[in-house]
């Protein structure tokens, strides 16, 4: 037997292992084992496409409309399809008996490995089968699948068929059926090199694949001349079959050049050979990990889960992602939410990219900036000013929220998020501001960030109404993050985020006007921005209504919430989250105080400096008893809050739920793709919750407090263009702001930080060790709002 393909894998601590074939878990496993490189994602189906498998090949930002209720991310032809048969029996589960089966996702190297021991029905002969595949992080247009097959009991002749599978469809969600979004444009097979070009139906984007297979038996490698061929392998010998694939779309190259480019890339890949390609790919993957890894000592299970979340963020977007792409709510791993972009990206996952790959974060924000005109159109269409970002966004930036959705009980219901869930406009502005503070990227602000923020503020200024009852401004008829209660007034999260946007827009404008007067003057002129308008921003912001019970000082989620029926929280299910209440039908849940995810706590998650620690605790204790967590966004927010108020065990419990959202299929729909918000939320619980990294008036602050189990946490976070090494130990916090360019002015080589509430200045490239203290229990921020 030749050396096992297993030798390409990294240390077991980096592996996600699937020990057995379980048909009932097939679709979930396909999601978990998704490979990708930010250019595309490929679900981890088995190469033989077992019965019922759901192949998924999703190109970043490639949507199409045809036949669907609304636009959806297209499921493109599946390039890894590869079938072996012996004596008419297909090697595959469940077609042939599998005596052993295992699959390993190697997160460190970005590889999917599989090993199966088959036994034929006729003759009961055993066949050892291994495969390894990757979608290159070094060259996003290259993918490779290698299969090593060894007959153990007798010599065998294998019939082999390699294809790019065009039989795939989008499955269709809720009310629409399955559909194929492409037709075949060109196909050829010359001397074993197959070329397939498909065209999407509406957008007419070409997607081209070239592929070829080499077979090595007895140390002789033969390039196959046909897509179907036979090879005979002696007992105990191994045949190594390698499928090289190249992939382009007409978004990457011109329509005229696509064929030659795809074929040329294939030839180059094949000439480089498997070993070189896998080494380059794995090296790139490891480089990514150097910037992104979070090392936990003392908790191997959580370490693996945390890395699993980070792995999926690494493949969801990268430097290879095309301009004009943002990450959908299920990344590139499934059709859930049709690939649409929600606030999940701006609020839950963007911070990860801001602090590990700021270039990617910038790209994700440019997605919003480039769609400002569509947001302006939406505002106008609703009778508002400025820019109103869509609740669900895809290619063009128009609102693509469907009007129908399947509820938790499987019933198809009408949804009103497109008309009423408006907080996203503030969330996007807040994401741009966080990016700016962390990176100091002034050109970003001048080239669109400021415009976006001012237009968002304009929207809120036109969206609020003056409420005579409270003699305050506020937003009426909205849905907050808690989607159980529709059409409410003065949703605390929405009002407070609108207020934040109005305040920040003014402050940002003044700040940039002082530093870059000419450019800001031009922006103001283009937007026809007047001083009186800025004054109006101030007036509204200062008189925004933030509902609160005067006696208990609990913030009210929306006006009238406290009067809703209070019911006891149901028991917890196996994942540790409350079951659905049986005391109230789903259609009546709005009449109760049950909430889907907590809006008030969510506000603290985004703007922690606005909460004193006592306020956060008071509200957390109140709302936790009412929160059903029927959203994958919920657990991480609660984990963060519990960590900040010192409830470490509870925080840890929520962290585990968030980290294992997909590994344990907590929401029962991992088959539809990874839950993007849980991926980014998990990272935030560790970095911002337990390690206490947060912002106060633009200063980076730390006040860590680790779960009892952990000995240390270590990670790097990008801050003002340079990595800051953070190591939290039981006894100390170690900070080192690394590698600042010596050419920088001296004042830029010092980083002001705050540790346990005390100011410090870190000189570049020096390690500082701060003895641990209990975090200042009294306050989180300096400017408590409530």
Site string for ligand IFM, 366-405 (x = CB under 6 A): ----------------------------------------
8 Å CB contact between 767 and 734: yes
Residue number with CB closer to ligand IFM (54 or 401): 401
CB atoms within 10 A of CB 249: 22
Query: What distance in Å separates the CA atoms of residue 684 and residue 643, rounded to the nearest whole number?
Result: 11
Backbone angles phi, psi at 196, to 5 degrees: -130, 130
Smallest separation, CB 676 to ligand IFM (Å): 7
Q: State which of residues 344, 346, 541, 736 lies at the interface with ligand IFM (CB under 6 A).
A: 344
Does the protein bind ligand IFM through residue 347 (CB under 6 A)?
Answer: no
Q: Is 404 exposed, middle or buried (0-12, 13-18, 19+ CB in 10 A)?
A: middle
Nearer to ligand IFM, 277 or 677 (CB): 677
Q: Does 342 bind ligand IFM (CB under 6 A)?
A: yes
Binding mask 615-644 for ligand IFM (x = CB under 6 A): ----------------x-x-----------
What is the 8-class DSSP label of residue 432? H
Regarding 337 and contact with ligand IFM (CB under 6 A), the answer is: yes
693: CB partners within 8 A, 6+ apart:
687, 700, 701, 702, 717, 726
Q: What are phi and psi of 774, to 5 degrees?
A: -70, 135
Give CA–CA dist 413/335, Å, rounded. 19
Query: CA 425 → CA 357, 461, 540, 696, distances in Å?
Result: 24, 12, 17, 23
> Looking at 11-19, 152-160, 335-343, 776-784, which segment touches ligand IFM (CB under 6 A)?
335-343
Q: Is 482 in the site for ligand IFM (CB under 6 A)?
A: no
Name the residue nearer to ligand IFM (CB basis): 311 or 493. Answer: 493
Cβ closest to ligand IFM, residue 86 vs residue 633: 633
Answer whether 408's CB lies under 8 Å from 580's CB: yes
Smallest distance from the beta carbon of 449 to ligand IFM, in angstroms? Answer: 23
Please pick, from the candidates 134, 343, 652, 667, the single residue that binds ligand IFM as defined by CB under 6 A.
343
Measured CA to CA, the distance from residue 164 to residue 247 in angstroms comes to 11
Count of positions (residues) in the chain = 786
Q: DSSP secondary-structure letter at 134?
A: E
CB of 435 to ligand IFM, least distance (A): 20
- For ligand IFM, how many residues bind (rule: CB under 6 A)? 10
By CB under 6 A, the residues from 8 to 47 that bind ligand IFM are: none
Which C-beta is closer to ligand IFM: that of 480 or that of 689?
480
Minimum gap (Å) between residue 337 Cβ and ligand IFM? 6
* Nearer to ligand IFM (CB atom), residue 342 or residue 786: 342
Sequence-ordered list of residues with C-beta below 8 angstroms from that of 525, at least 6 positions apart, any chain: none
Instruction: For residue 346, state whether it binds ligand IFM (rule: CB under 6 A).
Output: no
Quote the least distance from Cβ 53 to ligand IFM, whole Å: 25
Please list every residue from 88 through 117 that binds ligand IFM, using CB under 6 A.
none
Active site residue 30: no
User: 41: which strand partners?
Assistant: 36, 58
Interactions with ligand IFM, residue window 275-294 (CB under 6 A): none
Q: Near ligand IFM by CB under 6 A, which window of 5-13, 139-147, 338-346, 536-544?
A: 338-346
Name which of 297, 304, 273 is nearest 108 in CA terms.
Answer: 304
Nearer to ligand IFM, 495 or 631 (CB): 631
Interface stretch with ligand IFM, choices 151-159, 297-305, 342-350, 513-521 (CB under 6 A)? 342-350
To the nearest whole angstrom, how small is the minimum distance from the Cβ of residue 225 to ligand IFM?
48
Query: Does residue 415 bind ligand IFM (CB under 6 A)?
Result: no
440 close to 721: Cβ distance less than 8 angstroms: yes
Residue (9 or 329) nearer to ligand IFM, CB: 329
Least CB distance from residue 361 to ligand IFM, whole Å?
A: 19
339 or 608: CB nearest ligand IFM? 339
Q: Shortest distance, CB of residue 643 to ligand IFM, whole angstroms? A: 21
- Between residues 161 and 406, which has the closer beta carbon with respect to ligand IFM? 406
Residue 329 binding ligand IFM, by CB under 6 A: yes
Residue with smaller CB distance to ligand IFM, 343 or 622 = 343
List the structure tokens of 541: 């912001």
What values do phi and psi take at 41, rounded to 5?
-125, 145
Q: Which of these segments, 198-206, 317-325, 340-348, 529-537, binds ligand IFM (CB under 6 A)?
A: 340-348
Minimum CB separation from ligand IFM for residue 417, in Å?
8
Please report how close the Cβ of residue 24 comes to ligand IFM at its closest, in angstroms.
25
Contact between 677 and ligand IFM per CB under 6 A: yes
Whole-angstrom distance, CA of residue 729 vs CA of residue 732: 5
* 261-269, 336-344, 713-721, 771-779 -> range binding ligand IFM (CB under 6 A): 336-344
Residue 450 makes contact with ligand IFM by CB under 6 A:
no
Closest CB to ligand IFM among residues 133, 596 = 596
Burial readout 480-516 (b: 16 or more C-beta within 10 A, e: otherwise):
bbbbbbbebbbbbbbbbbbbbbbbbbbebbeebbeeb
Show the 3-state SS of 88-121: CEECCCCCCEEEEEEEEEECCCCEEEEEEEEECC
Q: Are strands 412-414 and 465-467 parallel, antiparallel or unpaired?
A: unpaired
Handedness of CA 331, 337, 340, 342 (dihedral sign): negative
436's CB contacts (< 8 A; 6+ apart) are 442, 444, 445, 449, 508
Residue 135 pairs in a beta bridge with: 143
Half-sphere exposure of 330 toward its Cβ, with a 13 Å CA cutoff?
A: 26
Sheet order of strands, 89-90 included: 89-90, 82-86, 156-162, 228-233
Q: Would you tell me the crossing angle of helices 424-439 and 358-369 to the nearest 10 degrees?
A: 140
Nearest distance from residue 412's CB to ligand IFM, in Å?
16
Q: Give the full edge-to-edge strand order of the sheet including 40-42.
A: 35-36, 40-42, 57-59
Contact characters 417-446, ligand IFM, x per CB under 6 A: ------------------------------
Catalytic-labelled residue, pool 392, 483, 533, 624: 483
Cis peptide, bond prior to residue 94, ω within 30 of zero: yes
Among the listed ranges 315-323, 341-349, 528-536, 609-617, the one in contact with ligand IFM (CB under 6 A) is: 341-349
**By the 8 A CB rule, do 147 and 241 touch?**
yes
Q: Which is nearer to ligand IFM, 456 or 735 (CB)?
A: 456
Q: From the CB of 31, what's the least distance to ligand IFM, in Å?
A: 15
Strand partners for 494: none
- CA dist., res. 728 & res. 754, Å (int): 15
CB of 633 vs ligand IFM, minimal distance in Å: 5
Task: Report the residue from 334, 351, 481, 781 that binds ligand IFM according to the rule CB under 6 A.
Answer: 481
Can you tell me the distance from the alpha carbon of 344 to that of 424, in angstroms, rounded to the nearest whole number? 9
Q: Which stretch binds ligand IFM (CB under 6 A): 134-142, 307-315, 339-347, 655-663?
A: 339-347
Q: Which residues are annotated as catalytic?
A: 483
Binding site for ligand IFM (CB under 6 A): 329, 337, 342-344, 481, 483, 631, 633, 677
């Amino acid at each position: 037997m030749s050396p096992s393909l297993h030798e390409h894998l990294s240390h077991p601590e980096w592996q996600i292992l699937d020990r057995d074939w379980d048909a009932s878990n097939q679709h979930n496993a396909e999601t978990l084992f998704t490979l990708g490189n930010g250019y595309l994602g490929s679900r981890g189906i088995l190469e033989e496409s077992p019965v019922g498998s759901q192949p998924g090949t999703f190109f970043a930002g490639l949507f199409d409309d045809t036949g669907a209720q609304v636009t959806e991310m297209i499921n493109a032809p599946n390039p890894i399809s590869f079938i072996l048969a012996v004596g008419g029996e297909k090697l595959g589960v469940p077609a042939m008996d599998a005596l052993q089966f295992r699959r390993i996702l190697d997160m460190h190297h970005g590889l999917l490995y599989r090993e199966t021991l088959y036994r034929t029905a006729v003759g009961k002969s055993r066949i050892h089968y291994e495969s390894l595949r990757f979608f290159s992080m070094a060259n996003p247009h290259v993918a490779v699948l290698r299969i090593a097959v060894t007959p153990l009991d007798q010599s065998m002749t294998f019939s082999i068929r390699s294809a790019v599978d065009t039989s795939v469809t989008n499955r269709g969600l809720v009310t629409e059926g399955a559909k194929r979004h492409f037709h075949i444009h060109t196909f050829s097979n010359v001397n074993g090199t197959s070329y397939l070009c498909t065209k999407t139906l509406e957008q007419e984007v070409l997607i081209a694949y070239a592929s070829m297979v080499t077979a090595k038996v007895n140390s002789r490698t033969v390039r196959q001349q046909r897509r179907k061929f036979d090879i005979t392998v002696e007992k105990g010998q191994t045949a190594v079959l390698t499928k090289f694939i190249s992939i382009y779309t007409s978004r990457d190259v011109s329509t005229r050049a696509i064929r030659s480019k795809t074929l040329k890339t294939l030839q180059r890949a094949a000439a480089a050979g498997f070993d070189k390609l896998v080494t380059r790919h794995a090296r790139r993957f490891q480089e990514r990990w150097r910037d992104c890894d979070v090392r936990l000592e003392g908790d191997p299970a959580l370490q693996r889960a945390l890395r699993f979340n980070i792995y999926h963020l690494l493949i969801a977007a990268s430097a290879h992602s095309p301009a004009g792409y943002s990450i959908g709510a299920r990344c590139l791993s499934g059709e859930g939410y049709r690939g649409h972009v929600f606030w999940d990206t701006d609020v839950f996952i963007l911070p990860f990219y801001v602090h590990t790959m700021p270039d990617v974060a910038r790209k994700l924000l440019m997605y919003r900036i480039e769609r400002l005109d569509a947001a302006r159109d939406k505002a106008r269409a609703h009778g508002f000013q400025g820019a109103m970002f869509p609740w669900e966004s895809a290619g063009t930036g128009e609102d693509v929220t469907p009007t129908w959705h399947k509820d938790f009980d499987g019933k198809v219901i009408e949804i009103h998020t497109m008309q009423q869930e408006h907080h996203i406009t503030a969330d996007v502005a807040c994401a741009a501001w966080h990016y700016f503070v962390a990176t100091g990227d002034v050109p970003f602000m001048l080239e669109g960030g400021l415009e976006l923020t001012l237009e968002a503020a304009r929207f809120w200024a036109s969206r609020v109404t003056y409420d005579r009852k409270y003699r305050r401004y506020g937003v009426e008829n909205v849905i907050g993050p808690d989607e159980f209660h529709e059409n409410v007034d003065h949703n605390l999260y929405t009002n407070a985020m609108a207020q934040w946007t109005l305040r920040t827009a003014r402050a940002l404008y003044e700040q940039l006007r002082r530093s870059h007067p000419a450019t800001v003057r031009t922006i103001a002129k283009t937007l026809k921005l007047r001083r009186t308008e800025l004054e109006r921003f101030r007036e509204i912001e200062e008189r925004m209504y933030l509902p609160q019970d005067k006696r208990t000082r609990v913030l009210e989620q929306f006006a009238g919430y406290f009067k809703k029926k209070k019911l006891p929280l149901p028991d917890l299910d196996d994942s540790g989250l409350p079951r659905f209440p049986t005391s109230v039908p789903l259609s009546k849940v709005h009449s109760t105080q049950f909430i889907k995810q907590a809006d008030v706590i969510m506000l603290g998650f985004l703007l922690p400096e606005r909460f004193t620690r006592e306020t956060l605790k008071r509200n957390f204790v109140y709302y936790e008893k009412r929160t059903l967590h029927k959203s994958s966004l919920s657990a991480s927010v609660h984990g963060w809050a519990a960590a900040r108020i010192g409830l470490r065990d509870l925080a840890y419990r929520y962290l585990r739920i968030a980290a294992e959202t997909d590994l344990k299929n907590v929401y029962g729909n991992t088959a539809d793709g990874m839950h993007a918000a849980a991926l980014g939320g998990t990272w935030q619980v560790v970095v911002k919750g337990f390690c206490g990294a947060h912002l106060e008036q633009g200063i980076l602050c730390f006040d860590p407090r680790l779960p009892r189990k952990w000995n240390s946490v270590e990670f790097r976070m990008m801050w003002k263009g340079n990595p800051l090494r953070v190591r939290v130990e039981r006894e100390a916090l170690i900070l080192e702001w690394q590698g600042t360019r010596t050419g920088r002015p001296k004042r830029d080589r010092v980083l002001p930080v705050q540790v346990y509430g005390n100011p410090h200045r870190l000189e570049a490239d020096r390690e500082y060790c701060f003895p641990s203290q209990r975090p200042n229990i009294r306050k989180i921020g300096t400017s408590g709002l409530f």
